[in-house]
Amino acid sequence: MADKITPRHVDYSRWYTDVVIQGKLADYSPVKGAMVIRPTGYAIWEKIQQNLDRMFKETGHENAYFPLLIPESFMKKEAEHVEGFSPECAIVTIGGGQELEEKLYIRPTSETIIWAMYKKWIMSYRDLPILINQWANVLRWEMRTRLFLRTSEFLWQEGHTAHETSEEAEKEALKMLNVYKTFAEEYLAIPVILGKKSESEKFAGALHTYCIEAMMQDRKALQAGTTHNLGQNFAKAFDVQFQNRDGELTYVWATSWGVSTRLIGALIMAHSDDRGLVLPPRMAQKPIVIVPIWRGDEEKSAVLNFAEKVLTELKTKYKVIFDSREQFKPGYKFADWELQGIPIRLEIGPRDVENKQAVLVRRDTMKKQSVDVDEILDKVGTELENMQIEMLEKAKTFRDENTHEIDEYRKLTKFFGGKGGFVKSHWCGSPECEEKVKSDTKATIRSIPFNRKKEEGKCIVCGEISEGRVIFAKAY
């Protein structure tokens, strides 16, 4: 605990790891590439789950659970899918001491097993739509892993829907993208750009992949969530046909969509500072900590008495941490809770008891103010709301300040050789031009934004006609 966090400007990557480890969010496990999510970190995941789950249900989805193990033959049915995922799969070959007749893949994603089941369940248009979500763990054998951002096993939710028409599937993919956007902005306080992925970046087996893309404090992009219009690819691979309203047999239209524990990494990298985690109030399981301060027994009882009254009042509305640990001095406690991102700290010492006040400190701004205990409930409420809003604003300002329109290739390569950020440039749509930028700068097309201006331009690489700008950035 005495360890200091490496400041962001010294080493961003070490800073991130320090925040995660010292904030007790996660720890390295004995299994390579897999991490342990500790209670403080898991509480954030639970917040993500609670809110998204509610939003999924409000949009008509229901939860189900499919098996962890997928028969090898299923994995091989959709050509692009196999190619995309096979290299990063772990495979079970022995069960009960016996070599298995058919190998079982540990799911890297569940499209295949789910569509095998949908074949059984879908006969008629009357069986549609199916709107199922599952909360699960998946495994992808990654070469290089980073806490939360890329671990071989991770937790996520995956929605898998089946529809009568192409239009309906497209609508669903966009609807869920908007659910993700709302969640990212209103809860995580991370502004996101909605858009479509280029061919090379889309999901293996999808027609289109949509994404919400966010900027981290090192100006790199992080894909925070994706939704896919799978077209009829999986229905064809698994032969899922239904009798439509005209009595004809047709293939089902599909979507899938997911967000993962990576969102916790995004949350950390978007807001935290050199003191540690900064949580938007809505993501804090316990948004308030009270730190009583005293000298000697006499003060101790007076302070604790007073502080407990404040606690009782706040508890009517919030979950509150009351830190009366004897073995630590106040300064230590301040640092400790700052590390864990608690949005509001209330310091209560002898002076405050005398004035019937408490010192309120906001984690994001670190600004202190004295608050009368009579109005403390209101004041805390206002500050929590303000903090939620201001954190989003701050992140948005940062992103906009680091987003630039660039029209010359030389400037583009120079930009990514420097401090980087988001670049809006014209692109003709060819994979070759996209690839050239990638090999020259390591930046990729993160998004073809929905809201881009219709604008005649010339591709920044080849000079061919382009109808709008796309976003280039280095990404996690």
Partner RNA sequence: CGGGGCGUAGCGCAGCCUGGUAGCGCGUACGGUUCGGGAUCGUAAGGCCGGAGGUUCAAAUCCUCUCGCCCCGACCA
Site residues, RNA (CB under 7 A): 1-2, 4-5, 13, 17, 28, 31-33, 87-88, 140, 142-146, 149-152, 154, 201, 203, 223, 226, 260-262, 275, 293-296, 300, 326-332, 334-336, 338-339, 347-353, 359, 361, 366, 368, 442, 475-476
Min dist CB 367 to RNA, Å, is 10
Name the maximum alpha-carbon separation found in the chain: 85
What minimum distance in Å lies between the beta carbon of 295 and RNA?
A: 4
Provide, rounded to whole angstroms, the least separation between the CB of residue 435 and RNA: 9
> Cβ 379 to RNA, closest distance in Å?
15
d(CA 84, CA 317): 48
Shortest approach of RNA to residue 345 CB, angstroms?
Answer: 7
Q: Measured from the CB of residue 262, what is the shortest distance to RNA in angstroms?
A: 4
- Give me the amino acid identity at 5: I
Residue closer to RNA (CB basis): 124 or 305: 305
| Cβ-based nearer residue to RNA, 262 or 469 | 262
Closer CB to RNA, 240 or 473, in the complex:
473
Q: Which is nearer to RNA, 280 or 350 (CB)?
A: 350
Query: What is the closest distance, in whole angstroms, from the C-beta atom of residue 2 to RNA in the complex?
Result: 4
Distance of CA 72 to the CA centre of its chain: 30
Gap between the Cα atoms of 206 and 238, Å rounded:
15
SS (H, E, C) 36-57: EECHHHHHHHHHHHHHHHHHHH
Who contacts 470 (Cβ-Cβ below 8 Å, separation ≥6)? 198, 424, 425, 426, 427, 445, 447, 448, 449, 452
- In angstroms, give the least distance from the CB of 443 to RNA: 11
Minimum CB distance to RNA smaller for 105 or for 125: 105
Output 128 or 277, the one with its CB closest to RNA: 277
Give 194 or 335: the residue with its C-beta nearer to RNA: 335
Min dist. Cβ of residue 373 to RNA (A): 13
In 290-329, which positions are buried (b, 16+ CB within 10 angstroms) versus exposed (e)?
bbbbbeeeeebeebbebbeebbebbeeebebbbbeeeeee
Question: What does the block give as tokens for 403?
Answer: 């987003």
- Minimum distance of RNA from residue 333's CB (angstroms): 8
**Tokens 């990404």 — which residue?**
475
Q: How far apart are CA 151 and CA 141, in angstroms?
A: 8
- In contact, 130 and 121? CB cutoff 8 Å: yes
- The residue with tokens 């899922």 is 240
The β-bridge partners of 227 are 210, 257
- 309: Cβ contacts below 8 Å, ≥ 6 apart: 373
Smaller CB distance to RNA: residue 100 or 475? Answer: 475
CA-wise closest residue to 422 among 399, 394, 393: 399
The amino acid occupying position 300 is: K
Q: Which amino acid is at 94?
A: I
Is the Cβ of residue 245 or residue 442 nearer to RNA in the bound state? 442
Extract the runs of DSSP E, i.e. beta strands, from 235-356: 241-243, 249-251, 253-260, 288-292, 320-322, 344-348
- Which of 461, 301, 316 has its CA nearest to residue 378? 316
Closer to RNA by Cβ: residue 58 or 326: 326
* Cβ at position 22, least distance to RNA in Å: 8
Taking the least distance from each CB to RNA, the nearer of 201 and 383 is 201
